[in-house]
């Protein structure tokens, strides 16, 4: 039985890899031809994104392999023969957990190292193909609030290795005076902000726009903005979370990404439990195919919505990361209880 399931799992793994590669090719081949990308550049790009496709396929192929493998055994009456011989239904399910626990371990290693590095190389390769410079690191909604003052910038573009940065959407409040400007510059060496023709507002007079630049002291350190959490290793995620200056949204995003890298590798085991129990209840391949679709669709909905909910603060990041695996585990335990 295990051999049949593993054969179908490998077939599903190949199928999902092919589907993802085909989708990526269809969406990028036109751009590659337009910008005259070489074969080596295109190959490097797809080699970089391949670990991401592998991680998704490792998980999605689990219900495919188990449900279709068990449906084939059901059709050949092999499962009925096992049950007629006195084998308990759950004794058929438990052996499926070990190989897919190993799959989860492989997914954990891949997600913590190869996937982040690959996503970074994917973007850099396409910037090279398009002839574009790598985007300047930026930080949105910067806030600094020393005693008696408030400094805010809608975006900070760190364009010179930490010595200066371009500011946009700037507001400085000091006592009763408020300065606002569309643009400005942060001089880290001089510890100042230079606001371009700011508007000055005071309680005792009408707002007035200055004709030139206004320099105000700013004692905060100009730090590089946090990198994209999807493109850094687990160790880098922990290091960023240890920083005290991460914004609330960024901290939630980093916390979710780190928790998800531990939770997602548990999903193959949860899928194996739920799909194994469900597969023993099905009697036809059509029902098994429908089960595969429901499994994948349900997981995809959760996988797509949980990061957004975690980033917005609607759900705790750790809860959002573990919810898909826990939900499918509960489904599996419920089905196992029915089979007992």
Mean pLDDT over 153-178 rounds to 87
Can you name the residues that pair with 139 across neighbouring β-strands? 156
| 202 vs 204: CA distance, rounded Å | 6
Are 178 and 160 spatial neighbours (Cβ–Cβ below 8 Å)? no
Say if residue 66 is exposed, middle or buried (CB neighbours under 10 Å; 0-12, 13-18, 19+): buried
- Assessment of whether the complete model's pTM goes beyond 0.85: no
pLDDT in tens, 265-300: 999 999 898 888 887 776 666 777 787 788 888 888
The mean of the pLDDT values for the chain is 86
Asked if pLDDT for residue 23 goes beyond 70, the answer is yes
| 68 vs 275: CA distance, rounded Å | 10
Of the candidates 279, 272, 291, the one whose C-alpha atom is nearest the C-alpha of residue 71 is 279
Structure tokens given for 66: 């188990």
Write down the domain spans for the chain.
2-131+243-339, 138-217
| 101 vs 267: CA distance, rounded Å | 9
Mean pLDDT over 11-26 rounds to 93
CB atoms within 10 A of CB 243: 12
Asked if pLDDT for residue 82 goes beyond 60, the answer is no
Strand pairing report for 205-209 and 199-202? antiparallel
| 127 vs 114: CA distance, rounded Å | 20
Helix H segments across 142-210?
none
45-49, 54-58, 175-179, 219-223: segment of lowest average pLDDT = 219-223
Mean pLDDT over 304-328 rounds to 92
| 106 vs 13: CA distance, rounded Å | 14
Task: Give the pLDDT score at 33.
Answer: 83
Task: Give the pLDDT score at 167.
Answer: 94
Helix H segments across the chain?
2-34, 39-75, 78-84, 89-93, 97-109, 115-130, 234-242, 248-263, 267-281, 285-312, 317-339
Are 108 and 262 spatial neighbours (Cβ–Cβ below 8 Å)? yes
Asked if pLDDT for residue 20 goes beyond 90, the answer is yes
- Output the CA torsion 49→52→53→54 (10° steps): 120
pLDDT in tens, 219-272: 998 887 788 899 999 999 999 898 777 778 889 999 999 999 999 999 999 989
């Amino acid at each position: 039985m295990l051999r049949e399931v593993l054969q179908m799992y490998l077939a599903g793994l190949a199928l999902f890899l092919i589907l993802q590669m085909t989708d990526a090719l269809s969406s990028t081949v036109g751009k590659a031809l337009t910008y005259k990308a070489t074969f080596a550049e295109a190959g490097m790009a797809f080699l970089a994104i391949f670990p991401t496709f592998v991680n998704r396929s490792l998980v999605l192929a689990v219900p495919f392999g188990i449900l279709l493998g068990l449906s084939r055994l059901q059709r050949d009456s092999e499962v009925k023969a096992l049950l007629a011989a006195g084998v308990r239904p759950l004794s058929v399910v438990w052996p499926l957990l070990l190989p897919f626990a190993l799959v989860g371990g492989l997914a954990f290693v891949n997600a913590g190292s190869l996937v982040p590095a690959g996503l970074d190389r994917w973007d850099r390769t396409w910037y090279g193909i398009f002839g574009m410079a790598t985007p300047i690191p930026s930080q949105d909604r910067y806030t600094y609030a020393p005693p008696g003052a408030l400094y805010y910038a809608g975006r900070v573009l760190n364009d010179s290795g930490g010595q200066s940065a371009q500011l946009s959407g700037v507001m400085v409040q000091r006592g009763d005076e408020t300065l606002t400007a569309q643009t400005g510059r942060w001089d880290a060496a001089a510890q100042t902000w230079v606001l371009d023709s700011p508007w000055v507002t005071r309680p005792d007079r009408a707002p007035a726009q200055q004709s030139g630049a206004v320099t105000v002291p700013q004692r905060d350190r100009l730090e590089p903005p946090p990198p994209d959490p999807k493109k850094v290793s687990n160790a880098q995620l922990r290091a960023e979370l240890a920083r005290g200056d991460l914004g609330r949204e960024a901290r939630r995003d980093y916390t979710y990404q780190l928790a998800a890298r531990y939770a997602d590798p548990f999903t193959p085991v949860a899928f194996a439990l739920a799909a194994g129990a469900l597969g023993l209840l099905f009697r036809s391949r059509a029902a098994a195919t429908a089960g595969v679709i429901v499994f994948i669709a349900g997981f995809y909905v959760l996988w797509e919505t949980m990061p957004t909910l975690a980033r917005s603060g609607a759900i705790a990041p750790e809860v959002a990361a573990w919810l898909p695996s826990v939900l499918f585990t509960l489904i599996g335990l419920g089905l196992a209880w029915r089979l007992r």
